[in-house]
């Protein structure tokens, strides 16, 4: 399996067949596992073998297939699947930190990630310093000898800033800090996170991995030492396990991940280019455009601008709402990575909680809209966006 290309790993990686020899992965919808003897039960509680399970909160064959497949794609030694992306972010941070530790984080974060770093961790005595993630000098200044971990979103939501991952990792490793990266916007298809130096990669598999808007899920990937030594003891006792049903949906999602994400990214590039310079749009934010501030980093790091395009329409909130309400194909929803094209107004939904000052700093303008490209024909998506722009 190690020599297979990613498209092949996405279809075959981690497959475990039962005694029936099924072709499609089996869904083991079971909480528990039976033991032939009392001695066998005792032995499993001492140490679990390769194909041994004791309780679905600790592990399950369908979940394990998903973990092994995703680990193979990402090039990670191991993976632990979680109930949601936020369970993954929370466990990656909390399992590695204790009171008195210092963390440096980029400030352009998904709202719930920001809540963990800004509100929850300080409550338990962890000090967090926020920096402009695109500014290496800011990282350098914030890192300290006692910095235990660094947290960043490799591409930020919703303003699509791209972080120089290798640059940040090099600085963080100089002080011995663990680099934890939320890699949702880069997707496992365009990710080179581990190669660039990231220690722990986190996904919300709710997004592109499911890819069809059905199940919540998350994953933490890293070394065997981190996943089994640090993360697993925390997760197996705190209950953030992925359900076997969701793992089965995610496994099937992985089979088509490459095809879907590349098609969505192609559409995103085409739409970004077509909308750039439109008179109802003040700014198109897309890392695939050469005018994007981190275009070169995105090209080198991901080889793509990703599947999301953010636009800032004229007319502020009123302009944004007129545009949203005039859409006929693209749907208003705060999710992303779906087969259906979805559009969000971050200032009034996902990032509503932030103060005006925070929104300002992060570039979440009243006219900003985040569009997640679906799998529809790109001509139809573009036609819908153009007709809705007329409503402004
Ligand atoms: C959606 C998202 C999350 C949270 O994932 P859930 O599966 O909704 O818990 C975390 N980080 C980023 C960047 C996301 O887009």
Provide the 3-class DSSP secondary structure of residue 124. Answer: coil
Count of CB atoms situated within 10 Å of the CB of 307: 29
Residue 221 and residue 164 share a domain: yes
φ, ψ for residue 308 (rounded to 5)?
Answer: -120, 140
Q: DSSP character for 264?
A: H
58 and 203 together in one domain: yes
- Domain holding 222: CATH number? 3.40.640.10
pLDDT score for 251 = 97
Question: 378-389 and 316-326 are packed helices; what angle lies between their axes, rounded to 10 degrees?
Answer: 130
Residues 106 and 223 in one domain: yes
pLDDT, one tens digit for every residue, the chain (392 residues): 778 999 999 999 999 999 999 999 999 999 999 999 999 999 999 999 888 999 999 999 999 999 999 999 999 999 999 999 999 999 999 999 999 999 999 999 988 999 999 999 999 999 999 999 999 999 999 999 999 999 999 999 899 999 999 999 999 999 999 999 999 999 999 999 999 999 999 999 999 999 999 999 999 999 999 999 999 999 999 999 999 999 999 999 999 999 999 999 999 999 999 999 999 999 999 999 999 999 999 999 999 999 999 999 999 999 999 999 999 999 999 999 999 999 999 999 989 988 999 899 889 999 999 999 999 999 999 999 999 999 99
| Residues 229 and 310 grouped into a single domain | no
The protein residue with its alpha carbon nearest to ligand 1, atom 1, reads 204
Looking at the fold, whether 236 and 297 belong to one and the same domain comes out as no
Protein residue closest via CA to atom 6 of ligand 1: 85
Inside any domain, residue 1: no
Closest to 192 (Cα-Cα) out of 224, 211, 165, 170? 165
CA–centroid distance, 293 to ligand 1, in Å, is 24
Instruction: Let me know whether 208 and 344 are in one domain.
Output: no
The preferred substitution site among 206, 250, 334 for testing ligand 1, maximizing ligand atoms within 8 Å of CB, is 206
Q: Strand (E) positions, the chain?
A: 78-82, 102-106, 127-131, 147-153, 178-182, 200-204, 218-222, 281-285, 308-313, 331-332, 342-344, 368-372
Query: Which of 112, 243, 336 has most ligand 1 atoms within 8 Å of its beta carbon, as the pocket-test mutant?
Result: 112
Residues 381 and 354 in one domain: yes
Residue 187 has which token pair? Answer: 């997707």
How many other CB atoms sit within 10 Å of the CB of residue 389? Answer: 21
Instruction: Identify the sign of the CA torsion 127, 132, 135, 141.
Output: negative
Boundary of a domain, candidates 216, 238, 255:
255
Is 207 within the bounds of a domain? Answer: yes
Is 300 found in the same domain as 219? no
Query: Where is the domain boundary, 255, 274, 307?
Result: 255
113 in helix, strand or coil? helix
The verdict on 239 and 271 lying in the same domain is no
Checking 13-22 for CB contacts under 8 A at 24+ apart, the result is: 13/68, 13/69, 13/70, 13/72, 13/73, 13/254, 14/64, 14/65, 14/66, 14/67, 14/68, 14/69, 14/70, 14/71, 14/72, 15/65, 15/69, 16/51, 16/61, 16/64, 16/65
Instruction: Tell me if 191 is assigned to some domain.
Output: yes
Which residue among 184, 250, 334 has the greatest number of ligand 1 atoms within 8 angstroms of its CB, and so is best to mutate?
Answer: 184
- What CATH number does the domain containing 383 carry? 3.90.1150.10
Residues 138 and 267 in one domain: no
User: Would you say 16 and 40 are in contact if contact means Cβ atoms under 8 Å apart?
Assistant: no
Do residues 247 and 275 share a domain?
no
pTM of full prediction above 0.75:
yes
* Alpha carbons within 13 A on the beta-carbon side of 1: 15
Range of the domain at 198: 6-255
Question: What is the DSSP-derived secondary structure letter of residue 258?
Answer: H
Ligand 1-lining residues (CB < 6 angstroms): 84-86, 89, 110, 112-113, 153, 157, 182, 184, 204, 206-207, 216, 218
Total number of domains in the chain = 2
Residue 305 lies in a domain: yes
Q: Does 385 fall in a domain? A: yes
């Amino acid at each position: 399996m190690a020599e297979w290309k990613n498209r092949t790993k996405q279809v075959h990686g981690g497959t475990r067949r039962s005694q029936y020899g099924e072709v499609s992965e089996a869904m083991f919808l079971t909480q528990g596992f039976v033991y032939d003897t009392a001695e066998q039960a005792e032995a499993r509680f001492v140490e679990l073998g390769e194909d041994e399970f004791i309780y679905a909160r600790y592990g399950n064959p369908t979940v394990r297939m998903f973990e092994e497949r995703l680990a193979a794609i990402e090039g990670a030694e191991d993976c632990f699947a979680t109930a949601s992306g936020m369970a993954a972010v929370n466990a990656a941070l909390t399992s590695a930190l204790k009171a008195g530790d210092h963390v440096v984080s980029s400030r352009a974060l998904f709202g719930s990630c920001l809540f963990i770093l800004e509100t929850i961790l300080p409550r338990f005595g962890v000090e967090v310093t926020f920096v402009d993630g695109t500014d290496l000098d800011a990282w350098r200044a914030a890192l300290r000898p006692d910095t235990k971990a660094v947290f960043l979103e490799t591409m930020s939501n919703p303003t699509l800033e791209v972080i120089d991952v290798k640059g940040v990792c090099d600085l963080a490793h100089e002080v011995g800090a663990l680099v934890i990266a939320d890699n949702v916007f880069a997707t496992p298809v365009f990710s080179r996170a581990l190669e660039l130096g990231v220690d722990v990669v986190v996904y919300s598999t709710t997004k592109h991995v499911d890819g069809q808007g059905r199940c919540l899920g998350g994953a933490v990937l890293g070394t065997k030492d981190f996943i089994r030594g640090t993360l697993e003891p925390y997760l197996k006792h705190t209950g953030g396990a992925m359900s076997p049903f969701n793992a089965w949906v995610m496994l099937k999602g992985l089979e088509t991940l490459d095809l879907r994400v590349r098609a969505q990214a192609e559409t995103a590039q085409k739409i970004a280019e077509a909308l750039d310079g439109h008179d109802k749009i003040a700014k198109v934010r897309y890392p695939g455009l050469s005018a994007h501030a981190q275009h070169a980093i995105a090209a080198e790091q991901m080889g793509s601008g990703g599947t999301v395009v953010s636009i800032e329409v004229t007319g502020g909130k009123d302009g944004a709402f007129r545009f949203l309400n005039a859409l006929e194909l693209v749907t208003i929803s705060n999710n992303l990575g779906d087969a259906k094209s979805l559009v969000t107004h971050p200032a009034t939904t996902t990032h509503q909680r932030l103060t005006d000052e925070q929104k300002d700093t992060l570039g979440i303008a009243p006219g900003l809209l985040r569009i997640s490209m679906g799998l529809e024909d790109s001509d139809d998506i573009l036609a819908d966006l153009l007709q809705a722009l007329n409503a402004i």
